[in-house]
Structure 1
Amino acid sequence: MRTAIASLGLLALAACSSAPPAAPPPPPPAASTAQQAVAVLASASGSRVSGKLTLAPMGDGVHISGEVGGLPANAQSGFHVHEKGDCSAVDATSAGAHFNPAASQHGRAGTATHHAGDMDNLVSDASGVAKVNMHLRGVTLGGGAANDIAGRAVIVHAAPDDYRTQPTGNAGARVACGVIKVTR
């Protein structure tokens, strides 16, 4: 009996030693290396929309503040980070698609499924000015991680984002574009 128990013990030890090693823990999330960036929005597609945004790392993402003018009065406009920091095309199509490093479906920021560059619509006042004060979660500013928005473009669209239509939210023409440039 003792021999049988000892044999079972040895088999159990052998089974444990042949198990694959535990997977290493995932790397810590990338951190922003920049302290601040600016995006100067210039008119696109023949619009008169322009503005200036300041971006700074904060908590689990990047805080964006500033002002956008030249919008229709009391209206909503789609607002996204796009994949390329290129505003050279007259219609800003050179900025590419919405910034989407995780290859997700388009949706509303803060929901389970959305592009990393999806943000809530801008809302203009009676003068056609939108005050921007929002937080873009899950992205970094500087450092070159897959979710880094430094060097990408911010786009203002002519129509509101419906948060459903794939892949753009049916937000219409690109009426302003600005490259996110690190300032410190």
Structure 2
Amino acid sequence: MKIINFAFTLLLGSVLMVSCGPSKSNEDATDTDSTDVAEENTSVSSGEKVMMQAKAVINPASDSKVSGEATFTDLGEGNVTFKLTVNHAVPGEHAVHLHETGDCSAPDAKSAGGHWNPSDVEHGKRPVDMQFHAGDIDNMEVGEDSTGVLTMTIVGWSIGGADSTNIVGKALIIHGGADDFESQPSGAAGKRVACGVIEKVE
């Protein structure tokens, strides 16, 4: 009888030791995991850089058939990447400029005003010349299939920045001929054959 009681006592002690020993509840483990995930997500979010974007839908002017789209991405520090794609244009070189007023309502697009030129300097070729309008861009080559693409990174532009750099609300104009980068005030590029207003992408 004493032997049986002693064995029972040992068994009961073992059970109590196991049930009372140190352990980590599922709730504690879940809380720790959630904290780790939250910290990880925060670090990822803080590392992302949101870049401002804008676009212009290109419509015909001066009885042309030119259409297309321009996209703009603000890289920061005064740099904006610009890509223009057009269709139904006459093969050859076409001058591309930003004009001061975002208004393409006139049939010849003259409602867009002159070149965007906040510094009031002479027209020229960027970045070769010492002076050029903020709206001076380059000539775009259109192939025999009547399509053209022009991609550049422009220094001195912004999307939503200071008035002297902000391209939002300006008009993108495509001309019928090439810019000679010498004639004043606009490069003798001919009539305006397409126009699009630059709008910020929200």
Whether TM exceeds 0.5 here: the answer is: yes
Q: Which of 7, 16, 36 in structure 1 is aligned with 2:53? A: 36
Residue matched to 2:157: 139
1:120 partner amino acid: D
Residue matched to 1:171: 189
TM value normalised by structure 1:
0.78
Query: Which secondary structure state, in structure 2, belongs to the residue aligned with residue 121 of structure 1?
Result: strand
The structure with more radius of gyration: 2
Deviations 1:39-90 (A, max 9, x none): 00100000011110111112532111131112112x1001000000000100
Larger relative helix fraction: 2
CA distance in 2, matches of 1:106, 1:140: 20
Does 1:108 pair with 2:108? no
Does 1:66 pair with 2:53? no
- Consecutive unaligned residues of structure 1, counting only runs of 5 or more, are 1-32
CA distance in 2, matches of 1:104, 1:44: 27
CA distance in 1, matches of 2:73, 2:64: 28
- Name the CA shift for 1:34/1:82 in 2 (closer, same or farther; >3 Å): farther
Q: Which of 51, 69, 85 in structure 2 is aligned with 1:52? A: 69
Which segments of structure 1 move beyond 4 Å, counting only runs of 4 or more?
none
TM value normalised by structure 2:
0.71
Instruction: Considering Cα pairs closer than 8 Å and 6+ residues apart, tell me whether 1 or 2 has the greater RCO.
Output: 1
Query: Which secondary structure state, in structure 2, belongs to the residue aligned with residue 163 of structure 1?
Result: coil
Residue matched to 1:121: 139
Query: What's the Cα RMSD here?
Result: 1.5
- Name the CA shift for 1:121/1:177 in 2 (closer, same or farther; >3 Å): same
2:184 partner amino acid: Q
